[in-house]
Amino acid sequence: MTSITPVSCGSTTHYILPTMYFITGIHTDAGKTVTSAFLQRALDADYWKPIQAGDLDFGDTDRVKAWTGTDHERFHPVRHALNTPASPHYAAMLDGVNIKLEDFALPETKGRNLIVEGAGGLLVPINDRETVADLMVHLGLPVILVSRHYLGSINHTLLSIDYLQRRGIPLAGIIYSGGDSPETVRIITAQTGVKPLVELPELDTVDLAGIDLLVERFGPALRAALGGEQI
């Protein structure tokens, strides 16, 4: 279990819960991993990828390590490392693995913040009955939704927000990635009331310098938009 940090103020001790978010996207290539690297640095957080399907030689955890330069102790082991780049339920079936919600528990962060990166989008199945959204509910984390600008992204973003709201899953906000599309942001905000936390531009090269630039430019706005909220 994740620990609670005691902070003394005079004769009173307050207990501060670490800030934790589950990062999901409107589709597989929405930019979750780049966004997670940005969030890890901007929020000084640990990182955890519960399920990695494919790319086991250099997966999302390795990418975030390389892009952020963060100490290795801030990264937590993948719970299910699956060989095939496919939906987790199918990749698990090929590996002879049965993924269950009970397999997952939040890692010990010693009171530090935590970014949890999901696999694919909300309704990607992890077994025959349950999806990534069920994993969010199981872990009890608020969600940051990553939306990428492309033809059809308005529909995918609205559907994702609607599903989260109907399930009662807390939505901390949206991060738009991959450039500038003011009308997309305007219409989604108008129809849902969900304003963007930040809008991240496309990086020419995703590396340590690129993530540093994002944190420098957008980190303060992100922290202000989140309002220092904790769970």
- Using CA of residue 69, residue 73, residue 79, residue 83, what is the dihedral sign? positive
What is d(CA 44, CA 23) in angstroms, rounded to the nearest whole number? 15
Does the annotation count 49 as an active-site position?
yes
> DSSP letters along 25-47, please?
ESSTTSSHHHHHHHHHHHTTEEE
**3 state DSSP class of 95:** helix
Angle between helix 60-68 and 32-42 (nearest 10): 40
* Contact present, 115 and 107 (Cβ < 8 Å): no
Active-site residue, selected from the candidate residues 32, 49, 65, 195 = 49
Rounded to an integer, what is the distance from CA 169 to the centroid of its chain?
A: 14
User: Catalytic residues, which ones?
Assistant: 49
